[in-house]
A and B are shown apart, each in its own frame.
Chain A
Amino acid sequence: MRGWGAILCAIWCIVACAVIGVRTQNGNAFDTDIQSLLPQNALEPLIRAAIRDAGDVASRRVTLLVSGEDPMRVDEAATDLQRALGEVGFSTDAAGGEGIGRWLYANRNALMCATDPSRFDTQATLNQAQAMLYNPVAPISGDMLVRDPFLLTLQLSQCLAPASGRAGDAVLISGALDASAFRLDVQDKVVSAFNAWRGRWPDMQVARAGAVFFAEDGAKQARNEIGLIGGVSGIAILALLFVCFRRPQAIVGTLAVTAAGAAGSLAAALLVFPSVHVLVFVFGSALIGVTSDYALHYLATGPQTNWAPAAERVKRVSRPLAVCALATALGFASLGAFGVEIFNQVAVFSVAGILTAWWFTVTLLPLMDLRARNGDKLRAWWDMLEKPFLAYRWQAWHGAVAGLLVLSIVGLGVVRFGVLDDVRQFQPRSEALAAEEERVREAVGFSSSPSFLLSYGADAQEARQREEAALAAWPDAAARDVLAVSRFDPSAARRAENEAVLRRELYEPHLTARAEELGVAAPNPFEVVEAPELPPLIANLEGQANNAHYLVAPLGPVAAEQGQAGENALIVDPAARYSQAFASFRGLAGWAVGAAFLVCMLIVLTLYRTWRALVVLAAPAAGVLLGLAVPAALGVPLSFFSVAALFVVIGTGIDHSVFLFEAAETDGQAKELVVFLAALTTILSMGMMGLSGTYPVASFGIVVAAGVTAAYLISFVPIRFRGREARADN
């Protein structure tokens, strides 16, 4: 039976490697979007879709400001940069500007600079038309004056189209990427092209603004963290293995188990999700500490039994390993209950990794750890290492000191307790990139807020009417500080209204005089032309969700200050919405921790069929208490991620108790050394996550490290107080 299990496990490992090999050929396999951290089901579908669209449009924007001593070189460098970025999917606004120009010309008699037709200023329009006529840089032509004698197209381009061109001493390059800025392959291509350009133009100064640069920087940081956490964990584990087992099979076996766990976890995540967030690997790197425990528990049976037959060794660990794997897997699986995409991924990643590692441990690992030639020597060495643990006696004053320490930590934690739900403080931003972004803002006078106006209705017409009504109610300065679909493509009713006003107040009273002044024999301002497609810059701002049509209008800082939007229109601040969502999820997660305890209680009672087994829950309970208190005492605020980490504390914290309980109740083999090793590897790998620069990862890691440490220490207490009972093999 175990033979078939070994074959199937080997097949799964091979399949997992193949899946990883195939999927990672696709640049879409990994994701770095911070929005993936957010609890999606906390928001209404319409708002969620709008936030997604607004975020997608905003995240693709890229603005660069190239400057230098020699203006000629600046022009050449800017042209070269534009070309280089164009090769990796970047389109400049200048290219899009022609499309907007064609759109404005075709719709010039249905659009207005004023946000409400009642605010149309005839005299200002006439003055502007006259000034443009004699402006030496106005791109006018005779043909244009015949069809657009008041130069409405040019006037609309001034008030509606985004700015471009030179800025200060620099050349401004602005545009959008043709793919998500959060795709690793897109980031790599864009940043590689940019860096290559920097190499060609070392004397140029450049300032960058755009999510792609921040995302690439964040991904780089995540990669470094993965390397650091995984590397230190791996080295620590290898050192411990070498000291304790003193044979290469133990090291190879442990590496094989952790590698199999890693392959199984990644393959499952790639099979279930279209793309996996890179932070999953940071969370998931903690699995090294968990899965290596399984190998340690099996390998320890070697010196403990003087390398008894594999079947006997497996039998000794099969039940506690199964309980541990099940409890830990359920702990991680609970993360999937929150509707946070990244936690869904962590849940799948971790459960698959744990089960694969467990499977490998009980099937393939026994084939790798054969009887040692110097078994007696190694057993003596093991016993010597374990001796101090067994010699330790729990004294009453130890309990008093421990109790005092716990009370002090809890007391300090209560005093310094704080929470953090503001997503704006979650992701560390590169100071250098932030400074560059600020230079871009200063140079071009550009400033946008993350907020947007969301207008919706049963269809496109109604949505436009809602947006028009919202903008009409705002002061001019605010209404013009918006990139709104309805300004470019109004509702049918507004189009008719605009045209009527233009006919009544501009063309009817002034066209004849204008034609005479210009010498235009047959002005034809209402010639029908084929309408071009709505430019992508505008078309991307509308969508459908939940049987509603919606428009997303990015707001500038002036517009963002407007508190009211009107019926079926609201100002959405995504960060504030998600912060509220995290706060509510933090509360819900607290209740879920209690539910997880209940599940563990049922599993323990079902498997051991004795009330005494409930003592194994004492350690994870203490882990939860100190997992919350220690970070608070250290001044680390509590967040949704801290509470989520408690599920891991419960899952892994129960392991130690289970093995010690099993030892006390059944086989009688001392487990002190192997439990210590298991706890130490787990604590090392998890604690390293606390060093992450990303708050969610750091808070998760600190809670897990503190909680698991406490759970390990407390796991001895029930047994010490109760004393060892008769053992099955004595």
Chain B
Amino acid sequence: MGRAADLARKVGAVLVATFLIAAPANAACIDPNNIRAEYGSMPFTQTRHLNGITRPLISRGQATIAAQRVDWHVTTPVNALTTITPSGITQSIDGGTPQRVNGGGGDALLGSAGLFDMLVGNFDALQQHYTITQRPARANGDWNIRLTPRAAGMARALTHIDVAGCERVAEVEVQQANGDRMEINLGPISR
């Protein structure tokens, strides 16, 4: 298999993989089975609700998805660029030299089954690590898919991930076992 084809497959899967099993949710929305890979840049809002912390941690910025690479650039309230590639994760603060970020010690959102594997798209990985189920469509007609960890070890940290959208993934909600929750809202993509 060529590398380009592999990359295209990977990038597309976010968003694709989740829905291959699901039936079309709404005639107005695209059939998730037919979602195609899309590269480009999109605004995001990330909100973390942490137990014991009264204020949600809200950050905004621009996510750029390219072949084998995601740049997660937080612009508010800090200027920090996190770059995720197969070779690892780096972080640059205020345009400084990127520093390698070590693995997160068992956090369910890192590694091959993590959130960003999903964003760069790896259908096989998602199927291997998660049970994928279709949930009732939302009021606005968006499809809604739930990923539940298969492995007991992962389930101890991660309860489930809900992914929703119409023409592509627009919302991701990660529910952790300790009650912490993270929501990511993705804006329109621009190339």
Contacts and interface: CB of A to CB of B under 8 A. Distances in A.
A binds B: yes
B103 A94 contact: yes
B97 interface: no
B37 interface: no
B93 A127 contact: yes
Given A72-B125, A136-B72, A166-B87, A127 B94 contact: yes
B55 interface: yes
Contacts of A131: 74, 78, 80, 91, 93
B102 A142 contact: no
Interface in B66-91: 72, 74, 77-78, 80, 82, 84, 86-89, 91
B135 interface: no
Nearest to A135: B82
B87 A145 contact: no
A71 B102 CA distance: 20
Nearest to A94: B103
Nearest to A518: B53
Given A70-B1, A72-B124, A167-B87, A134 B115 contact: no
A521 B51 CA distance: 12
B144 interface: no
Interface in A139-164: 139-143, 145-146, 157-158, 161, 163-164
Interface string A425-454: 000000000000000000000000000000
A130 interface: yes
Interface in A97-147: 97-98, 101, 127-128, 130-143, 145-146
A168 B53 CA distance: 37
A137 B109 contact: yes
B184 interface: yes
Interface in B98-126: 99-107, 109-112, 114-116, 122, 124-125
B112 A134 contact: no
A160 to B, nearest CB: 9
Contacts, number: 132
Contact of A157 (B51, B102, B114, B116): B102
Contacts of B26: none
A164 B105 CA distance: 10
Given A71-B122, A137-B109, A158-B99, A518 B55 contact: yes
Which of A71, A132, A158, A518 gathers most chain B CB within 10 Å?
Answer: A71
Contacts of B184: 136
Contacts of A97: 103, 105
Contacts of B55: 517-519
Contacts of A127: 78, 93-94
18 contacts: A71-B6, A71-B86, A97-B103, A134-B57, A134-B78, A135-B72, A135-B82, A136-B72, A137-B115, A137-B116, A139-B106, A141-B50, A143-B178, A158-B102, A163-B88, A165-B111, A168-B87, A169-B86
Given A130-B77, A146-B53, A519-B55, 17 more contacts: A69-B6, A71-B6, A72-B124, A130-B80, A135-B72, A135-B91, A137-B89, A137-B109, A139-B104, A142-B52, A142-B179, A158-B102, A165-B103, A167-B87, A168-B87, A169-B86, A520-B52
